Amino acid sequence: RARWSVPMDTMTRPEIVGDMVMTSVRTGTGAASRAEVVALDLADGRTLWSEDAHELAYVGAARDGDIVVFIENVGAQGGARRVGHVHAVVPRTGRVLWEYEIQGVLGHPAMVSGLVFIPWDRQNIAVLDARTGLEQARLRSTDDIIDWIDARPEGVFYGSKAIYRLDNRSASGTKAGSTFLAPLLPAAPGEPLVHTDGFLPAPGTR
C-alpha cells in the first residue's frame, strides 16, 4: 500500500535519514536548470527544505539526533576540478549549523555518538565534532583504498573490497596493523561490492 507519491526529477537514489527522505533533483530546463538537494517529510512526502548543490554532485547524508550532515563533491572520477562540500544542518528546517569547502573529494558521511566520519580522497577519514565541525582526528590508509564508511550499532566500519573495523589498531594505517576482513572470494564473477562506493552519486534508477 502506497503511503505517498511525489513526482520529482530525481538525480540520485533517495535515502531515509531519520524522519526525512533526502535526494537531489534537477530543476528548471536548459541553461537555467540546476541541481538541488531536497529533504522530504517521511510521513507525507512534503518538501521540508531545499539547498542549491552549487554545481556539485550530492553523494549522501547521515544523521545523529538533531543534526544532519550531507556531502557534495566533484572530481571523484578524475578531472582537474576537485572540490568537496560538507554541510551540517538542523533536520526539519535545513538551517545551517556549519559548513566547509575543501580542495579534495569527500565521500558519503557516517555519524554516531556525536561524531561525523567523512572519507576523503579515498585515502583518509576525517573525524569531526558533529556540533562544531572541528576535526578531532584523522585516519590515513597507507596501503589500501577507502571507498566508504558505515556506522552501525555494532561499530564503525570502512574499506573498499576489504572490510575494516574502526578501533585503536586503525591508527596504524596499514592492513597488517588493523582489524580487517579480506574478501572471501577475491575472484568472484563481476567483482561485487561489499558496500556502495561513497564517492559516487547513486543514480536514481539503480
Residue pair 6/26 in contact (Cβ under 8 Å)? The answer is no
Q: What is the edge-to-edge ordering of all strands in the sheet holding 124-129? A: 110-112, 115-120, 124-129, 135-140
Q: Which three cell numbers stand for residue 1?
A: 500500500
State yes or no: pLDDT of 142 exceeds 80. yes
Q: Half-sphere exposure (CA, 13 Å, Cβ side) for 138?
A: 10
Q: What is the mean pLDDT of residues 171-196?
A: 88
More confident residue, 178 or 206: 178
* pLDDT tens, position by position, 101-113: 999 999 999 999 9
How many whole angstroms separate alpha carbon 20 and alpha carbon 43? 8
Burial classification of residue 149, based on how many CB atoms lie within 10 Å of its CB (0-12 exposed, 13-18 middle, 19 or more buried): buried
Q: In the chain, what percentage of residues exceed pLDDT 70?
A: 97
pTM: 0.93
How many whole angstroms separate alpha carbon 166 and alpha carbon 110? 12
Residue pair 126/113 in contact (Cβ under 8 Å)? The answer is no
